[in-house]
Structure 1
């Protein structure tokens, strides 16, 4: 891959952009040795961050991921809830309401993927359009007519199918920065859905402008599980099944996931671009007491 960082499109006159705020969405314990190779954190507890985005002109309200719901034991296999020790002091819906945004007022909910610690409680978002990658159809059972039996990761929560939009291959018709497949969701260059497959089939990220003069943010979901994976200090952990020879990895497709991480690394080299992932313990510890959570905003990077 070229060492020269790709460029992002310059702002137009009166450029629309997105105000971005972090949302408390619960915490969970993760098995670092199964996720990363390299010096591992001492603390297994990580956040499951979600984000609120507010369009500067249309005032459209977008939520990226819904974190963990309080009654998680009813929606994932008990073994997962017991091993990951979910702790939800404030759900996404509660975080929004505390910041002055009723969940019923949200226009769009973008879900990076359907793992239980990202889907929260969709039922509270009574008017929102739900946007998922097309690969999520399989997990939802829309290709077979019934919900796939919940696995170690997939929640049994239902997404309202009458307000469900899948980002198809034909939708991903623009290239931006290091991403060859993206969609300009509002048609004004303010926010892009990018194909970020690898961790899960149909995994998507948001790449959004955060100022009218050239600042950006990538919301990466589970594209990586620690910021040191993006810098290259950590690598994706995996093993080889002794019986089948298959690669065993937390990412469904290890090679595609690693390519997506390289794209994130390339993107992070562009000036004024922030890259945030859902389970980033470093960013959370540095920012948990700062004014970056709703009703406040994550400040855009400056030169």
Structure 2
């Protein structure tokens, strides 16, 4: 039976605070098979995490950048379409991650690590304020960057999405070698069992998720990025990712639907385990319910075991 490692004596864990990182409208029938066409006003959540023992800290995801015009032409044309104001995702960024950090009392220049779940436009944000950070990406993302814009004019990814000279690309021979719960490949970020970066490549090449302890007693929080775009996919085995829209048009938000289903099935197993809570990047309900109590400088409070 799948289980998670019990806490060690003096077990370190992570203090977790959400960060505002922009909003976007997502079409509902692109997310879950059989849904009526409509739109959900969703956050692109980012997180500030601080190690309980060492006070070391890092950020998971950078959300949207404020300057939408700085995205590659392919992104602007397909998702934003700012010239005709027909924004498919109707993005707005009242506050980006750097501004959210400053408002919460954290200087972006002091952030030590930034883990990017994947290289889609609503997760890479703007890296330039994080001048001291080592960036961490799933290794398969390296090829996406190498083929990015402007070198490839048709690419949806900016080749300068991260500072490559201080980026660690996690590979499956040196880094992603630790099994955790139902997932076979993970990286123990602090080598103490407090935070695991998990290989979940179904959404797109290089996609990773994060599992962190949130107490010394056995609480965990799974930050799922874009492993799923609706919480029901992680709680209801009868809910499936969309392969067609309501009108019957073939469409899937995951690059590899078969692998995405494997990743989601594993995540379902994980979130059923005692003490495990989860958040996905575009969880509109959690955002609405917790905007006043879980965003930096405030912290996510684990539920009682």
Q: TM-score, normalised by structure 1?
A: 0.90
State how many pairs are aligned. 290
- Residues 110-189 of structure 1 mapped to structure 2, 5 A cutoff: 110-141=115-146, 147-151=151-155, 153-155=156-158, 157-170=160-173, 171-189=175-193
Match status 1:231 vs 2:227: no
What does the per-residue CA deviation read over 1:269-293, in whole Å, with 9 as the maximum and x for residues that have no partner?
111111110001121122123x110
Match of 2:76 among 73, 78, 81: 78
The answer as to whether partners of 1:206 and 1:219 remain within 8 angstroms in 2 is: yes
Match status 1:97 vs 2:102: yes
Q: Which runs of 5+ in 1 are unaligned?
A: 241-246
- DSSP-derived class of the 1:90 partner: coil
Provide closer, same or farther for how the CA distance between residues 84 and 118 of structure 1 changes in structure 2, counting only shifts above 3 A.
same
Please state how far the C-alpha of 1:78 moved relative to its aligned partner. 2.0
Where does residue 41 of structure 2 map in the other structure?
A: 45
The answer as to whether partners of 1:29 and 1:46 remain within 8 angstroms in 2 is: yes
- DSSP-derived class of the 2:48 partner: strand
Q: Which runs of 5+ in 2 are unaligned?
A: 81-86
Provide closer, same or farther for how the CA distance between residues 169 and 26 of structure 1 changes in structure 2, counting only shifts above 3 A.
same
- DSSP-derived class of the 2:128 partner: helix
Q: TM-score, normalised by structure 2?
A: 0.90
RMSD value, Cα = 2.0
**In 2, distance between residues paired with 1:267 and 1:158?**
31
What does the per-residue CA deviation read over 1:3-52, in whole Å, with 9 as the maximum and x for residues that have no partner?
x5x21100001111110111111101112212211445954211100001
**In 1, distance between residues paired with 2:256 and 2:214?**
31
**In 2, distance between residues paired with 1:66 and 1:279?**
13
Match of 2:14 among 11, 15, 18: 18
